[in-house]
Amino acid sequence: MLLQEIPALPFALDVQSATAWLDQLPLGNIRECCQRFLPVQQALNVYPMPLQLRFELLERCHPMVQGLERGLLPHFIDADFPMEEKARKIASLAARFHLEAALGYRQLVEAAAFQEAFDAPCRLFIYRRCLEHLLQSMLRSAQVYEAPSSSVLSSFRRLYRHAVAAEVLDAAAELEGRPPVVLRDLFLRFFLFGLAVPRGLPQDETQRLFDGLALPAKQGSPVADEAGLRSAFCFDPEELDILVPVAPGVPAPAGLPCVSAERVLSVLRETLRVPVAPETHPLRRVLPRLGDRLPCLEVAGGRRVSLATGFKAVVPMLKDIEFRRSKPGRRTETWAGNELELAPLDSTKLHIAPRFTGRTLAEAVVASETAEKNRMVEVVPSALPGFYLLDSGRWMLRAGSLIGLNSDDEWVQLGVLRSGQIRDGRFWHSFELLGANPRLIRARNERLKDGARNAVWLEASEPDGQVGLLTEPCKWRGGDGVMLDFPGGKRRVCIVKLVEASPSFYRYTLAESGAEEAMA
């Protein structure tokens, strides 16, 4: 052990000194305790030390992380949003403590001497500790309606690569007093929690979702590489945030690993068997996001629509439509936003597998999202309000992509691609509408003062009944004042919550803040 005093730490760099310092922290004063503990966590993560010492210090800090998390919960659970800035900073510490702990355990995994320094059970224990801290960081970020740190995704990506290389994905990690967990199941929980859009749920339902995603872990490994596995999504091992819906029973492109949500869905369906009506339950919209089969209306045929993928492609689509609507004699009535007129299609081609031509999955998705021209796809309505089924014509589309549908050169329907299913021998994507009558505007964050940017205004719609704002991923947060520039005037609003954070876009709910100027 290193015995010399480290000036930046309030104790000597050894286990005994660290334990004595932790024991004297004032747990009764949560604010002071947080202020003293976080700098030490950060310092320990940057100081070089033997692996065994780092491991022992992390284990000594683990109970403190859990205790501080419990103490912080009353500061944000059932709180009013947006929170005051001081309260927001305190609430965000729960996610931060777990992230710092995960970064410490990740250093052990990535160390060149990891294999030699620890025996096999201890190595699996370290993987589990790291992954569980990352998952808890994701949960607490979701419950304060903030985007997770970029370090969370990068850590999952790096740990996955190490686990694959070490051939331990199928190994069960033991933890004293708790059931063993297969490492694959922890990665599965990471994938599915993100796909479920937890920030759009009430805090208690977010916790129930998080807990429900852990239940299938005892039933075996829902993630597998075998061709033909019944699965919902394939993913790029190098880019874990790129998941593509695939057809059950059809081999994934290039033998890519797959994520199956089937066992999770059975657990969540049981959750819906509660005294409230299933169609109004907050988790009801989560099921099709994870791959549950959408009920389809019995119709003669679908409708051909023009599809734009990604925020950058949606902007010119909206500009074009607004230009057309501004011409004299064009229709200007308000569109209901949740119905499609259906017309028979000329094409009856059958498409099962997504298009994949020798490139990486990430490259194929980017090629799809950066196509110069919008493409024509077929859309049919679902019996579940707010959802459509979309046949993309075998284009490679990622789950969570922002999609614009232009059905008649009058109105754009804006939504998100979720999962997929087989229907009548064809593979259809699930498409979830975000809101009615999207309008392209300019928005300026008054806190950041980083200039105006393109944004999309969504009028109040089901299920949350709140107005929404879409932007490209940015650093806006709850409580920020934003000036919106409409064609006919300006409006000041306040960001209430970040309810969806995908690589393609961020979606916020808003509250009015200040008087409106002239509006068209």
What token pair was written down for 88? 């927001």
Identify whether 266 is part of a domain. Answer: no
Domain boundary among 176, 203, 222: 176
Identify whether 354 is part of a domain. Answer: yes
Q: Is 380 exposed, middle or buried (0-12, 13-18, 19+ CB in 10 A)?
A: buried
Identify whether 274 is part of a domain. Answer: no
Please state the φ and ψ torsions of residue 452, each to the nearest 5 degrees: -80, 150
Residues 430, 442 within the same domain = no
Residue-by-residue DSSP string for 259-294: E--HHHHHHHHHHT-SSS-GGGSGGGGHHHHTTPPP
User: For residue range 260-297, what is the model confidence (pLDDT) as tens digits?
Assistant: 787 778 777 877 776 665 666 777 888 899 988 888 87
Identify whether 193 is part of a domain. Answer: no
The amino acid at 75: H
Is the pLDDT at 188 greater than 50, yes or no? yes
CA distance 180 to 159: 19
Is the pLDDT at 356 greater than 80, yes or no? no
CA distance 398 to 386: 19
Domain at 450, CATH number: 2.40.10.220
Residues 450, 401 within the same domain = no
pLDDT (average), residues 372-394: 81
Please state the φ and ψ torsions of residue 244, each to the nearest 5 degrees: -120, 125
Residues 356, 444 within the same domain = no
Domain boundary among 119, 152, 176: 176
pLDDT (average), residues 510-517: 69
Residues 495, 417 within the same domain = no
Is the pLDDT at 119 greater than 70, yes or no? yes
Does the pTM exceed 0.95? no
Identify whether 128 is part of a domain. Answer: yes
Residues 83, 123 within the same domain = yes
How much is the pLDDT for 493?
96
Q: Is 227 exposed, middle or buried (0-12, 13-18, 19+ CB in 10 A)?
A: exposed
CA distance 454 to 443: 6
Residues 404, 491 within the same domain = no
Identify whether 102 is part of a domain. Answer: yes
Q: Of 61-65, 67-71, 266-270, give the lowest mean pLDDT range.
A: 266-270
232 confidence band (pLDDT: 50, 70, 90): confident
Enclosing domain of residue 57: 15-176
The answer to whether the CB of 357 falls within 8 A of the CB of 367 is no
Which H or E run contains 91?
Answer: helix 85-91
Identify whether 151 is part of a domain. Answer: yes
The answer to whether the CB of 316 falls within 8 A of the CB of 310 is no
Identify whether 485 is part of a domain. Answer: yes
Residues 21, 170 within the same domain = yes
- If you average pLDDT over each of 17-31, 425-439, 462-476, which comes out highest? 17-31
Domain total for the chain? Answer: 3
Partners of 239 in the β-ladder = 236
Residues 416, 501 within the same domain = no
Residues 415, 446 within the same domain = no
Domain boundary among 419, 435, 451: 435
Residues 454, 406 within the same domain = no
User: For residue range 467-487, what is the model confidence (pLDDT) as tens digits?
Assistant: 899 999 999 999 999 999 998
DSSP state of 329: T
How much is the pLDDT for 1?
37
Of the chain, the percentage scoring pLDDT greater than 70 comes to 80
Residues 361, 456 within the same domain = no
Residues 377, 467 within the same domain = no
pLDDT (average), residues 490-504: 94
